[in-house]
Structure 1
Amino acid sequence: MNNYWDNVWTSVDVKDYKKYINLNDDYKFIDIFKQHKISNICDAACVFGKYSAIFSKNNFKVSGFDISEQSIILTKNMLTTLNLGFMDFCVCSITDIKYRDECFEGVIAHAVLDHLNTTEAIKALNELFRITKKNGLIYLSFDGLSDNDIEACHEVLADGSFKYIDGTRKGMIFKYYINEEIKKLIMGKEILYFNTKQNGEREVILRKI
């Protein structure tokens, strides 16, 4: 997976992705984080910095990480271009996060766990909770299933994940979680928010107790 994501973000330009960031939208998860007095967050698998930018625009102290060094470079350049502040970003895997225990009040992982096999997703969720302070919040999202997801050339792994074996997605893992599987993954966690968007994406906010 390291090679796949490095290839995705190699030689990308901030201007190609800036159009995907709307800093003026009203985001429900931002309101919930503010209601719980969250002030600093970690953007897990920050890709090109969309959610780092949204949180920074709303006066959160933002740090983050990604498995791809190119992604970290892109995120920092994006935030700088948008004149938004940020703390530190590092290169690491979500299954072995470099940050110490309980160092963030909030963590966001947008469409990340569904790009791991089930075993790795469980380990990643444990890592996200590890770096979150008590009473802190963890935001997760899970993509819907599109025709493109099904039609792209893939093999099906034992846990139902798709491993793409050709084309632009070659090497990528994608697991479509039905709602019951999401609830099983987060079983025993305190759920503050569960929302299904029109495009099929599911948003979840958990509180560490």
Structure 2
Amino acid sequence: MNTQEKWHEMHSQKRHQPRYPSSDLVSFVLKNFKKDDQILDLGCGGGRNVKFLAENDFIAYGVDYSANGIKATQELLDLHKLKAELKIASVDDIPYEDEKFDGVICYGVLYYNPKEVIEKAAKEIYRVLKKGGIAYVVIRSLKDYRYLNNEKISKYEVLIEEKDSSKSAFKENGMKMYFFDKDEVKRVFGDFNIEEINRIETSYKNDSIYDSHYCVVLKK
């Protein structure tokens, strides 16, 4: 089963459809965008961020390469009588014209792709942003336990083989995953003005393992 098929299956299950957006994303969007700005959630999954955008008076768009993810997003919008434009597409081939969006969100998505796709996705995000537009991209760092505890394919890529079913990485078994240090952030997103590279870390198992993410603010 390839990664797309695995996500298609996972997005059909309610436990893989988180209900609420992350607090850092909420703060970022409300601070940086205004009513009626056009914002794309790239890799929208089960729709939590698209719903948040739509209910806060932004013009919301969602793209995901899982048909079940788009279906779940539409059902969530319908339940709350909200509207957004949704399309099935890959992160490296965004089906919108140049300089369409005031903002792009890509939260916890890119690292499920190989380097070549991530590089194309960065260029696509740049292309569809308006001049002066802002992107908020969340990616995993080399301090994440998935990177530290799994087989390295290359400097930044690992194959997930988690034996502990209580860890969130267990559902990612068999996936190749791409991690970043700051140098790789700067290389991949070199077309942008990189406004900020921040880190969010959450520890588990008595502070023995970490989910570690970079929260990157990019401006065109």
Q: When the two structures are superposed, what TM-score results if normalisation uses the length of structure 1? A: 0.82
CA distance in 1, matches of 2:137, 2:18: 23
Task: Work out the CA distance in 2 between the residues paired with 1:197 and 1:147.
Answer: 14
Amino acid at match of 2:8: D
CA distances 1:83-118 after superposition (whole Å, capped 9, x unpaired): 252221011111112222222211110012211122
> 1:71: Cα distance to partner?
0.2
Relative distance call for 1:134 and 1:111 in structure 2 (3 A) is same
Q: Whose strand fraction is larger, Structure 1's or Structure 2's?
A: 2
Matched, 1:62 2:24: no
The Cα shift of 1:171 comes to 4.0
SS in 1 for 2:10: helix
Which residue of structure 2 aligns with residue 177 of structure 1? Answer: 180
Seen in structure 2, the aligned counterparts of structure 1 residues 189 and 57 have a Cα distance that, compared at 3 Å, is same
For 1:93 and 1:30, the matched residues in 2 are separated by 23
Distance apart, 1:49 and its partner CA: 1.1
Would the alpha carbon gap of residues 105 and 117 (structure 1) be closer, same or farther in structure 2, given more than 3 Å must change?
same
How big is each residue's C-alpha offset from its partner over 1:130-168, in whole Å with a ceiling of 9 and x where there is no partner? 1112111111011345435654xx653345312336863
Following superposition, the deviation at residue 186 of structure 1 comes to 1.7
Deviation at 1:26, TM superposition (A): 8.2
Partner of 2:71: 73
Q: CA deviation at 1:62?
A: 0.5
| Runs (5+) with no aligned partner, structure 2 | 163-169, 203-211
Give the distance between the partners of 1:179 and 1:122, measured in 2 at CA: 15
Aligned residue pairs, count: 201
Structure 1 counterpart of 2:50, one-letter code: S
SS for the counterpart of 1:177 is: coil
Percent identity, aligned pairs only, is 23
SS of 1:27's partner is helix
Structure 1 unmatched ranges of 5 or more? none
Q: For residue 135 of structure 1, what is the aligned residue in structure 2?
A: 132
Cα displacement string for residues 115-136 of structure 1 (whole angstroms, at most 9, x for unaligned residues) = 1122211101111111112111
1:169-209: CA deviation from partner (whole Å, max 9, x where unpaired): 2442212212222122222421233321233322112111x
Take 1:97 and 1:203, find their aligned partners in 2: how far apart are those partners?
21
Q: What is the rounded CA distance, in whole Å, between the counterparts of 2:187 and 2:94 in structure 1?
A: 23
